[in-house]
Structure 1
Amino acid sequence: MFFIMIVSQERYNLINQILIVLIASTIVFRPVCTILLIIFSLFNLINYKHINLDKRYLKDMLIIGIPFLLSLLFIFLNDNILQGLKTVEKVLILIIFPLTILTNRNLNIKSILNYYRKIFIVLLIFFLIRFIVIYPDKIEKYINGIDLIEIGYQYAISLGTHAPALNMHIAFLTIVNFYFLVQSILKKKMNNIIYNIILFLIAFSFILIVNTRIALINIFLGCLIVLFFEFVKIYSFKKTILISIISLITFVGITAIYTKINPYMLDKYSTVTFDHMDKIGKLDEIENPEIVVFNALVTRVSIWKASYEVVLENLPFGTGAADGKKELNKYFERTNQQFLAKYEFPIHNQILDYGIKFGFFGILGVLVYLLYPIYKFLRISIYQSLFLSFGVIFFISNLTDDFLIRFDGIVFSGLFYTLFSSISYKKY
C-alpha cells in the first residue's frame, strides 16, 4: 500500500499531514476515521526513525495521556480484566498522537486547519443533501412547523452520532472559520473576507439546524475569545471591547431571527429545559417521564446527584473504568429510581464519570486534562485564541456530557491538543 512504506523525511511529513487532515475532518464518521487512525498508526510505526523524541515533550505527553494512564494504572479495580483492557485500548490513541504529532516540528498547522474546515463543511453539506433526499417526510414536517426540534437529532443520527456530540464538533468548525474570517479582516483582504463569511455562515447554519443548547453557548464564548485576543493585538483595549459587543449583538440577532422562524426553540430553552426541577431524584413521580423529561435538565441533575453519591461511596480509588456505569445502574436500582435504571443513562458529566471510575485521582486527572488548553495557551506564540476557544468548547461540553467515553471525544481532544501544543516547540 502507498501509506505503509518507509519514506523520506519530506514525504513522511506530507503523508502525515494529509492523514491528520482526513482524521480531523471525519471524526464524526467513526468507521472511516477508525480506518484512517489505523493507517496513521501503522505508517508512523514503520517510519519510527522520523519521530523526534525529546525529554522536553514529556510533560505534555503525560498530560495528554492522562485518560490512558488512569485506565492502565487502575485496571486491577475492574471485575473483568478483559473489559478493563478494552477501556485501555479505547484511549490508546492519546499516547499515539503525542508521539507522532507533538514531536513533529514540520507540520503546517495553518494548512491543516484550512483543509479541515473545507472538507468538514463539504461532508456536512453532502450528508444534509442525502438526508433531504432520503427523509423528505421529515423535511416536509419541518417546513410545516411540526416537530421542529426533531430534524437536528435525526440528521445527527443519519451520520451515526448524536446531536450534542455533532454540535460540539460543528461549534469548533464554526470558530475555526470565524478565526480565518477575523484574520482576513485584520489583513484587509476583501476576497478572503467574503469567502470566509460564506464558510462561517454555512458552519453556523449547521449549529442552528442541529440546535443544541450548549453549542450556542460555546459559539458565543469561542467567537468572543477569538475577537478579543486577535483584535487586542492591533487595536486598543477600548476599541476591542466595542467590536466584541457589536459582534455579540450580531450573533444574538441572527439567533433571534432563527428563533422567530423556529418558535419551539424558545420553549426548548425555557419551559422544556427547566420544567419539573422540583422532582430531582424523584423522576418516577412524574407521569410518563419518557415523554415529559427524557432530555430535560431535571433528568441530568438527577443523574448527577446519584453519580456524586456513587463517587463518595467509592473513594478514594473508584470502581475501575469498565465498571463505572454498572455501579451507577446498581445505585439507581438500590435507590428505587426505576426510570433511570430502565434506560441506563450515561453520567453526562466527565468529572463525575472519572470520579466514579478512578476516585479522587480521576477527578484530579480529568480536571488537569480539561484545563490543559489554558496552561498551554500561555506558552504558544500563534493560534492562542483558537486553542483557548477549543479548550472552552471541550470543557463546557464535558460538564453536560462525558466525551472521554466516546470515540469522537477522545480523538477530537487528543488530536487538537497535540496539534496546538506542537506550536510551543516551534520558532516563528
Structure 2
Amino acid sequence: MLIASTLIFRKFSTICILIFVAFNLLTFNRLKYDRKKLIWWVIVAIPFLLDVLFLWNNDSLGAGLKSAEKRLSFIIFPTFLLGYYKAINFKWFLKLYGYIMVVIVFMAYGAYAYNYPEHVIKYYHGKHLWEMGYHFANFVGIHAPAFNLHMSFVSISCLYLLFAAGKRLQSKLISGLFLLLSLVIVMYINTRVAVVITLLGYGVVCFFELFKNKNIYKAVKISALLFSSVILIMVVFVKVFPYSVEKYTKGSFSDMEYVGNLDAVEHPEIRFFNKLVTRVSIWKSALELAEDNWIIGYGASDARNELVNYYKETDQQFLAKYEFPTHNQYIDFLLKFGVLGFIGVICFMFGMGYLGWQMKHPVVISFCLLFFISNLTDDFLIRYDGITFSALWFAIFANQYFYNTKITGYVEKD
C-alpha cells in the first residue's frame, strides 16, 4: 500500500520497494509457482527481458545495464505478487489506495499553496494558465503527465468504489466525495490525455455496472448523478480557467502544416512546445530513423542519442536543442529493440487488457486503456513513475486472475 500510494515521491517509494524486497526474500519459501504463472511472469517482465536480450546491442555495457536496472520492477513485482500464496484483497487495496492518494495530493497542494501563494492567485486570475498543472507537479517532484496518469487511475477507481459501496449511505457519501476530489485534481493538473482517459474510464465503469448490476435503477441513478457532477465541475473549471478551451482545441491541433519543419517559424519553442505538431514531428523523425535498423534497433542506451543526432543531420534545430525523446512508447521500443521490441510492448499492453476482459473487471480494463492510450503520446516505460506504476498494478491484476477460480479454473497445488 505504501509503494502504490507514494509512487509520485520517487525516493520514499524506492525505500518502500527495498523493504518489500527484503521481506519477501526472507519469506521466499512461501512463493508458489507453476507453468501458467511462469507464462504470465514472462508477459509482465517483457520490458526488462528486452533490455537483457538486447544488452549486446549497446555501445556501452555499463549504460545497457543501467537501462535494465531502471526496469527491475518488472522482475520484482511479478516474482513476489504472482507467486504470492493467496489472493490480495483487491477491493480493500483499491479503496485504501484511492483514498490515501487523494489525501496525500491535497496535503501536497496545501504545501504548494503555502510556498507559492502568488502562483495560486495568478492562476485564479487567469494568468499563465499553461503552466498551472506543470508547476504544481514540479513542486511535488514528478512530471505532470505522469502525475496525472496516476490521478486518472485513482479517479476511475473511486468511481468503481462508489458503485461497489453497497447500501450504506455513509459509504456512498465518502466514495462520492473522494471521486469528486480526485476529478478536481485531474482537472487542475489538466494534462489533456489524462483528462480524456479519465472520462473514457468513467464510461467503461458505468457500462459494466449498467449491464452486470441487477439493480439497474441504482446503476442508472449513479451514472446520471456522475454525469451531472462531471459536467458541473467542467463548466465551473472553464469559467475560472477559460484558457482550457483554447488548450483543448486551437492549442492542441493547430499548425499541423509545420510537421517536420518546425524551424520555419521564429522562436518555435514559444509557438509549438506543447502542441501536437511537435510530437508528430518527433514521431516522423523516429520512424525515418527506425527504417534503417528496424530488425534489431539501436540499443536501449543509444537510441535517444541516435535520434538527437538524426535531428541534427536533418537540420531540425528546435528538436535537437531540446533533445526530445520519442514521446511514444511503441516507437521508442521499435527504435531501441527493433520489430521484436514493438511486438513485445504490444503484448505487454494487451496482456493487461486480456486479464481485465477475462475477469470482466472495469478497473483492470480501464487501466489497460489508460496505459495504452497515454503511451501513444508519451513514453512512460522509460520513467520510474511509469515503470513501477505499470509493473505493480499488472502484477496485482495477475494475482487476482489466478485466484479467481471461476474464470481460470485455477487450483493452487500444495
**TM-score, length-scaled by structure 2:** 0.94
> Given the superposition, is the C-alpha separation of residues 242 and 362 from structure 1 closer, same or farther in structure 2, using an over 3 Å criterion?
farther
One-letter amino acid of the counterpart of residue 350, structure 1? Q
Residues 1:209 and 2:188 are matched in the alignment: yes
Q: Distance in 1 between matches of 2:115 and 2:144?
A: 19
Aligned to 2:172: 193
One-letter amino acid of the counterpart of residue 426, structure 1? Y
> Given the superposition, is the C-alpha separation of residues 306 and 239 from structure 1 closer, same or farther in structure 2, using an over 3 Å criterion?
farther
- 1:213 Cα offset (Å): 0.6
8 Å CA contact 1:279–1:298 kept in 2: the answer is: yes
Aligned to 1:137: 118
Residues 1:166 and 2:147 are matched in the alignment: yes
- 1:47 Cα offset (Å): 1.6
Q: Distance in 1 between matches of 2:147 and 2:27?
A: 33
Q: Distance in 1 between matches of 2:315 and 2:199?
A: 40
- 1:253 Cα offset (Å): 4.1
Aligned to 1:375: 354
- 1:188 Cα offset (Å): 2.7
Q: Between the two proteins, what is the percent identity of the paired residues?
A: 39
- 1:322 Cα offset (Å): 0.6
Aligned to 1:391: 368
Q: Distance in 2 between matches of 1:168 and 1:319?
A: 29
Residues 1:117 and 2:98 are matched in the alignment: yes
Residues 1:221 and 2:207 are matched in the alignment: no
1:397-416 equivalences in 2 (<5 Å): 397-416=374-393
Cα RMSD over matched residues? 1.9
Of 233-242 and 163-172, more deviation after overlay is shown by: 233-242
8 Å CA contact 2:163–2:222 kept in 1: the answer is: no
Of 65-74 and 109-118, more deviation after overlay is shown by: 109-118
Q: Distance in 1 between matches of 2:255 and 2:210?
A: 44
8 Å CA contact 1:284–1:337 kept in 2: the answer is: yes
- 1:236 Cα offset (Å): 8.9
Of 297-306 and 35-44, more deviation after overlay is shown by: 35-44
- 1:157 Cα offset (Å): 0.2
Q: Distance in 2 between matches of 1:246 and 1:46?
A: 49
Q: Distance in 2 between matches of 1:86 and 1:213?
A: 32
Aligned to 2:408: none
Residues 1:179 and 2:156 are matched in the alignment: no
Report the secondary structure of 1:336's partner residue.
Answer: coil
- 1:190 Cα offset (Å): 1.4
- 1:313 Cα offset (Å): 1.3
> Given the superposition, is the C-alpha separation of residues 115 and 242 from structure 1 closer, same or farther in structure 2, using an over 3 Å criterion?
closer
Report the secondary structure of 1:379's partner residue.
Answer: helix
Aligned to 1:95: 75
TM-superposition CA deviations, 1:258-285 (whole Å, max 9, x none): 1122110011111111221110000001
Of 333-342 and 272-281, more deviation after overlay is shown by: 272-281
One-letter amino acid of the counterpart of residue 368, structure 2? G
Candidates 279, 283, 295, aligned match of 1:300:
279
Q: Distance in 2 between matches of 1:222 and 1:404?
A: 21
Residues 1:149 and 2:130 are matched in the alignment: yes
Report the secondary structure of 1:206's partner residue.
Answer: helix
8 Å CA contact 1:220–1:248 kept in 2: the answer is: no
TM-superposition CA deviations, 1:95-149 (whole Å, max 9, x none): 1111101122142222221211122112101110000000011112112221123
> Given the superposition, is the C-alpha separation of residues 237 and 280 from structure 1 closer, same or farther in structure 2, using an over 3 Å criterion?
farther
One-letter amino acid of the counterpart of residue 206, structure 1? I
8 Å CA contact 2:260–2:281 kept in 1: the answer is: yes
Candidates 206, 223, 242, aligned match of 1:263:
242
8 Å CA contact 2:87–2:400 kept in 1: the answer is: no
Aligned to 2:266: 287
> Given the superposition, is the C-alpha separation of residues 241 and 319 from structure 1 closer, same or farther in structure 2, using an over 3 Å criterion?
farther
Candidates 329, 340, 346, aligned match of 1:361:
340
- 1:217 Cα offset (Å): 0.9
One-letter amino acid of the counterpart of residue 30, structure 1? R
Of 393-402 and 308-317, more deviation after overlay is shown by: 308-317
**TM-score, length-scaled by structure 1:** 0.91
Of 219-228 and 235-244, more deviation after overlay is shown by: 235-244
1:10-159 equivalences in 2 (<5 Å): 21-104=1-84, 105-159=86-140
> Given the superposition, is the C-alpha separation of residues 278 and 237 from structure 1 closer, same or farther in structure 2, using an over 3 Å criterion?
farther
- 1:64 Cα offset (Å): 0.4
Following superposition, which runs of at least 4 residues in structure 1 exceed 4 angstroms of deviation?
235-250
TM-superposition CA deviations, 1:52-96 (whole Å, max 9, x none): 122220111111000011000001110001100011111111111
Q: Distance in 2 between matches of 1:238 and 1:347?
A: 47
In structure 1, stretches of 5+ residues that fail to align are 1-20
> Given the superposition, is the C-alpha separation of residues 58 and 292 from structure 1 closer, same or farther in structure 2, using an over 3 Å criterion?
same
Aligned to 1:231: 210
Of 311-320 and 227-236, more deviation after overlay is shown by: 227-236
Q: Distance in 1 between matches of 2:404 and 2:381?
A: 32
Aligned to 1:14: none
8 Å CA contact 1:84–1:322 kept in 2: the answer is: yes
Report the secondary structure of 1:346's partner residue.
Answer: coil
Aligned to 1:320: 299
> Given the superposition, is the C-alpha separation of residues 341 and 110 from structure 1 closer, same or farther in structure 2, using an over 3 Å criterion?
same
- 1:309 Cα offset (Å): 0.9
> Given the superposition, is the C-alpha separation of residues 311 and 425 from structure 1 closer, same or farther in structure 2, using an over 3 Å criterion?
same
Aligned to 1:420: 397
In structure 2, stretches of 5+ residues that fail to align are 406-414
Q: Distance in 2 between matches of 1:238 and 1:280?
A: 50
